Structure 1
């Protein structure tokens, strides 16, 4: 896959706008009732990086990053300031934050995930771009040691245990994470005059599946 393991400048993503998008297909029946379905198992996030531009220096940094990615050709990491931790934004990730699986005595690989809950409903989001140095893993609430007990693939979000967790053991993890994205345009339009006057360029960014 055409993906660069580099993060979009966080000083520029701070102040951007965007969030999750869903696709819902709605059919209105003859009696006025609705049938709603979705072809998407997971949400997809969109952002506009233009709102993070505060100076001409920022604009120059953006253009440099855009050119290095060849426009839409190469994906990259994006920090979503509204949702980038396994815990609350004000907290520090702990090994017991998110349940990522249950030991079966043979499986050694488990994917990081984050669960969103509201009432009785929940959604489990796969995490494919954890931030290096931020991941903490626990088995049965007992935090394990990176390197000795497990390893992390920061390109895919997979946790690999050195030996299979015992049957029934709850596996959990805490982490910070990025969103895999690409530019959603092959063109950036901006002028010194309009930027100085307070107008900002539109720089759409869209999540990619990994």
Structure 2
């Protein structure tokens, strides 16, 4: 079960983490190698312990952990290094990401964020957009939420009131969270060690829905 609640953003601010890929490498007898991946999408991992700065932070962490029953329930996580459809210094706007091209009949579209580097690119499904930050455009014109489109903030699916015409670009701007769960059923904290600078490890891992 997933809880639509965000881990306290002030605690995730000092965390460390990012995307993880899985690559299978086979060394051939001629010295060459073959590389393949069973994963279409990366998976993110974080350590929430590094964001703890006080005993009050630990109390807030334990309360959140207990309410999620450890690993049982997923939750939202703000990745401070990557939480916008645009560069971190900008404010999201409806032209940021091309999420689809109209075919004259489809009205539902998944929010995505595309990462480009040279000739290669990767399109990441965005399933946990932040409500009230989402803007949508069709054919270069900004749409009005509630009248022209609605968004399911639990899935990242956009539903347009009218189907975009053939070839019309559907664009979007947004902030988003990462769906995660705790990757442990145990938190070990020593007050004296914490005050001496020993930070507990609190692993968090992305869940695929």
For this structure pair, what is the TM-score category when the shorter chain's length is used for normalisation?
over 0.9
Report what 1:23 is aligned to.
Answer: 22
Structure 1 distance, partners of 2:106, 2:2, is: 28
Work out the CA distance in 2 between the residues paired with 1:144 and 1:64.
40
- Aligned CA RMSD, in angstroms, stands at 0.4
Aligned to 2:140: 141
Output the CA distance in 1 between the equivalents of 2:122 and 2:167: 22
Kindly provide the CA deviation profile for residues 133-189 of structure 1, in whole angstroms up to 9, marking residues without a partner as x: 000000011100001000000000000001111111011000000000000000000
For the pair 1:161 / 2:170, whether they are aligned, the reply is: no
Q: Which residue of 1 aligns with 2:45?
A: 46
Question: Any residues of structure 2 matched to 1:1-210 within 5 Å, and which?
Answer: 2-210=1-209
**Mapped partners of 2:125, 2:36: distance in 1:** 21
Q: Normalization by structure 2: what TM-score?
A: 0.99
Rounded to whole Å, the distance in 2 between the matches of 1:88 and 1:79 is 15
Unaligned runs of 5+ in 1: none
- TM-score, with structure 1 as normaliser: 0.99
Q: C-alpha distance in 1, partners of 2:200/2:62?
A: 11
Aligned residues: 209
Residue ranges of structure 2 left out of the alignment (5+ in a row): none
2 CA distance for matches of 1:45 and 1:158?
A: 21
